């Protein structure tokens, strides 16, 4: 959320995380053993893209929209 560029970067980050999940699925299926560097690279890309999105919001002084997961809920205190 936030600035339009930041929103686009978050979509890119989502794709990087999908790549990580796909690599894990391939590994668990036992069909092939993906090179370990692929996991590290995909996670690194997701982290870099997140940092860029946060930086863009900071530069443009836009507050980021809080993400609320539909899949995972926070335990009530």
Confidence of residue 1 (pLDDT cuts 50, 70, 90): low
- Output the six-digit token pair for 76: 């009530």
Residues in the chain: 77
The DSSP call for residue 25 is H
Q: Is the CB of residue 65 less than 8 Å from the CB of residue 7?
A: no
Q: Is the CB of residue 77 less than 8 Å from the CB of residue 37?
A: no
Q: pLDDT tens, 38-56?
A: 999 999 999 999 999 999 9
On the 0-12 / 13-18 / 19+ scale of CB atoms within 10 A, 34 is: middle
């Amino acid at each position: 959320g936030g600035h339009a560029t930041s929103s686009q970067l978050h979509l890119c980050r989502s794709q990087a995380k999908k790549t990580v999940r796909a690599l894990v699925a391939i590994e668990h299926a036992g069909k092939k053993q993906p090179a370990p560097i692929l996991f590290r690279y995909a996670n690194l890309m997701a982290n870099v893209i997140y940092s860029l999105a946060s930086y863009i919001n900071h530069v443009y002084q836009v507050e980021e929209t809080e993400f609320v997961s539909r899949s995972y809920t926070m335990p009530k205190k």
